[in-house]
Amino acid sequence: MRIVRKTATVCLLAGLGLAGTAQAADDPIATRQAIMASVGAAAGLGGGMMKGEIDYNPVAGKAVIATMQAASFTFGDFFPAGSDQGDTGALASIWENADGFAAELAKLSDATGKATAASGKDGPADLDAFKAAMGPIFGTCKSCHETYRKKN
C-alpha cells in the first residue's frame, strides 16, 4: 500500500508540475521551476527505491523514467535571453555557453530515451534493471547541475 501511495504522490506532483507549466507559459522561470519540481519528485521516488528506502515497483519505476523523459523534451525551451534575472537557480553559464548547455540537455534526452526503451511496456522488471536505467539519467543531472545550477 505504501508504494501505491508513493506512486500516486509522484504522479500527482508530476501532474501539478505540468499544470504549473501550462499556467506559467508566459514566465519561463516559473515554467522551468515547475518542470524541475516534477523531476525532483520523481528523483526522490527513484532514489528512494535505489537506496532501498522504498520498495521497488515496476510501475513506479516506469513513472519515474517517464517523468524524466518528459522533462528532457521541454526543459531546454525555457531559457530565453533575459530569463537569467529574477528568482532563478540558473547560472549565467547557461547563456554564456549555450552549446555546452544544449549538449547536457542532449545527454539527458539520450539517457531517458534509452531508459524508456529498456523499461518496456511494464517498467524495469526489477531493482537492478531500474538502477541500470536510472544511473545514466542521474549522472546527466549531476553533470548539468555542477556547471549550470547555483549551489544551494
pLDDT at 4 over 90: no
Q: Whole domain around residue 26: which residue ranges? A: 2-148
Q: Which three cell numbers stand for residue 99?
A: 552549446
Q: What is the pTM of this model?
A: 0.82
| C-alpha dist (Å) from residue 87 to 11, 79, 90, 106 | 26, 13, 9, 25
Query: CA 16 to CA 51: how far, in whole Å?
Result: 26
Query: CA 109 to CA 71: how far, in whole Å?
Result: 9
pLDDT digits (tens, 9 = 90+) for 10-36: 554 555 555 544 555 689 999 999 999
What domain count does the chain have?
A: 1
CATH code for position 27: 1.20.120.10
Name which of 5-9, 45-49, 65-69 the model is least confident about: 5-9
Q: Which three cell numbers stand for residue 68?
A: 524524466
pLDDT at 98 over 80: yes
Q: Which three cell numbers stand for residue 43?
A: 528523483
Q: Which of 107, 3, 23, 119 is nearest to 66 (CA)?
A: 119
